[in-house]
Amino acid sequence: MLTLLKLLKDGRFHSGQALGAQLGISRSAVWKQLQKLQAEMNLPIHKVRGRGYKLASPVDLLDPEGVSESCYPVHIYEIVDSTNAEAFRQINKGVSAPFVISAEQQSAGRGRRGRHWISPFGQNVYYSLVLRVDGGLRQLEALSLVVGLAVLNTLKGFDVMTAGLKWPNDILVCDKKIAGILLELVGDPADVCHVVVGIGINVNMTTAAGVGQPWTSMSLETGKMFARNEVITALSMRLKEYLKSHAITGFSSFHDEWEKNHVWQGREVSLMAGLHQVDGVVIGVDQQGALRLRVNDELKTYSGGELSLRLRHDS
């Protein structure tokens, strides 16, 4: 089925006879594969008598040869449950870090706090970087915030200039989500552990059902389509640059840059921790990346993986 998709990826018409000849199957078998392609990958296909078949729009497929491995080895899959889950499977198999898992589609993509990450075929970047950490707790300090800066600057490199950060690990454009980060860890942080840095970027997606919050994409913001191979390569380069500096200096050297790009600075928010809610005004982050809120004229600091930040209705 992927072979058929490669023949159709240009978005032009192809006759059933020509497709059958290239695949070595009958025209009726071509039609069955097209129906399966449309159903399983949610790729609309147009059929016009006398002209043949075409995708509703061209598809930019990931290509191992089109992704530079100068930063990290990249393993590309057609469909996985989630790139983070596949990354953990590769860790368990003994694959040496660092390496990257990417995929055309996720059947069970996930974000923070167990949320589902909508992952249509061939439209976005689903990316997991595996890092080995040897007894360096400082390398984990505010790591998601530093990764956020790397993602933000990747987006700006593709002319998404209005993107900004939301604590702790979202990238927004005008309060609409364009990218998210999920960090997961296995092993002993005080000894040897692996960190999986999961990143999802909305690249060429223009419509999506089931997204539970305002969202946007690189394409919607710029009016252009992007080669996802180039996005992955640029992302890896930015990550390597930022992570190298973070391993040496910790978060302190990134503090000012991060606050400068935090779009919720000074805004009234509600911080959710399970059923507990704290209302306050965002002051910024401290030198370890913890959130600083002014709560009833008192400055308080919050950190932790299960915290969620929302704008207050009266903000």
Which parts are annotated binding residues? Answer: 82-84, 106, 110-112, 177
Burial 61-100 (b: 16+ CB within 10 A, else e): bbeeeebeeebbebbbeeebebbbbbbbebbeeeeebbbb
Which one is catalytic: 51, 89, 115, 310?
A: 310
Residues of the binding site for biotin: 82-84, 106, 110-112, 177
Question: What is the crossing angle of helices 16-23 and 27-41, to 10°?
Answer: 90
**Placement of tokens 């959130």 in the chain:** 291
In the residue annotation, 310 being an active-site residue is answered as yes
Burial of residue 15, with CB atoms counted within 10 A of its CB: 0-12 exposed, 13-18 middle, 19 or more buried: middle
Which one is catalytic: 54, 166, 177, 238?
A: 177
Burial of residue 276, with CB atoms counted within 10 A of its CB: 0-12 exposed, 13-18 middle, 19 or more buried: exposed
In the residue annotation, 112 being an active-site residue is answered as yes
Exposure on the CB side of residue 307, measured as CA atoms within 13 A: 18
Tokens of 225: 């389509």
Is residue 41 within 8 Å of 105, Cβ to Cβ? yes
Which one is catalytic: 112, 166, 228, 238?
A: 112
CA proximity to 310, closest of 175, 205, 219: 175
DSSP 198-267: EEEE--S----SS--S-B--HHHHHS----HHHHHHHHHHHHHHHHHHHHHH-SGGGHHHHHHTBTTTT-
Q: Show Cβ contacts of residue 65 under 8 Å, excluding neighbours closer than 6 positions.
A: none
In the residue annotation, 49 being an active-site residue is answered as no
**Placement of tokens 């058929």 in the chain:** 4
Catalytic residues: 112, 177, 310
